[in-house]
């Protein structure tokens, strides 16, 4: 009997942790975990030199999708994008819901060429997916590498945001990376 109660308590705790760490709509990790995970990657970089990249992703013209098809279809787009990210990333990284239609991906133990390749593959798989019948969904991405032991998490995310902005300026549906 006591063992059964302990198992129930442990399962409840696991469920609560899951609820507190996942975005309710998409199933991506939420912002509660984002800074902790980035800090873990920074610590790994500082101790072992393990490289990692951030990819800030925006669903292009998402407001227009909501306006044309409704919010339920917009939700479907976000859910499907995250499902594609999770499937394609496997052990290469983690996806977080950063804002309404923005996601942040941490790619770990990877070089720049591979990071760009992974980001481009995600973009292409989403574009080819049949999320909305007769429409393709495009993504703009800003990609940065953590490379300075003095850089804060906020500065790192701001650099990714600047790259995302540049991607959109250049015509959307692209990955923009710092040189």
Q: Quick one: which H or E segment has residue 168?
A: helix 153-169
Q: What residues are paired with 20 via a beta bridge?
A: none
Pull the structure tokens for residue 110. 């990877």
**Residue 101 a catalytic site member:** yes
Instruction: Check 23, 58, 101, 161 and give the catalytic one.
Output: 101
Which one, of 140, 130, 147, 137, lies nearest residue 163 by Cα? 140
Query: Which among 131, 10, 132 has a CA at the least distance from the CA of 68?
Result: 132
Burial zone of 4 (CB within 10 Å; 0-12 exposed, 13-18 middle, 19+ buried): exposed
Name the residue with tokens 């990376």: 177
Can you name the residues that pair with 96 across neighbouring β-strands?
29, 104
Which residues form the catalytic set? 101
């Amino acid at each position: 009997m006591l063992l059964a109660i302990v198992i129930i308590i442990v399962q409840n705790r696991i469920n609560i942790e899951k609820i507190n760490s996942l975005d309710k709509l998409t199933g991506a990790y939420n912002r509660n975990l984002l800074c902790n995970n980035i800090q873990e990657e920074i610590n790994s970089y500082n101790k072992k030199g393990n490289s990692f990249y951030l990819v800030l992703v925006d669903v292009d013209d998402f407001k227009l999708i909501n306006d044309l098809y409704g919010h339920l279809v917009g939700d479907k787009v976000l859910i499907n994008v995250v499902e594609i990210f999770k499937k394609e990333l496997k052990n290469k990284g983690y996806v977080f819901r950063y804002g309404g239609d923005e996601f942040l991906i941490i790619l770990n133990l990877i070089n720049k060429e591979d990071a760009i390749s992974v980001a481009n593959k995600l973009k292409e798989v989403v574009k080819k997916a049949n999320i909305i019948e007769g429409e393709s969904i495009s993504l703009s991405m800003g990609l940065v590498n953590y490379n300075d032991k003095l850089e804060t998490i906020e500065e790192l995310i701001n650099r990714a945001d600047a790259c995302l902005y540049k991607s959109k300026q250049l015509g959307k549906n692209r990955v923009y990376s710092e040189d």
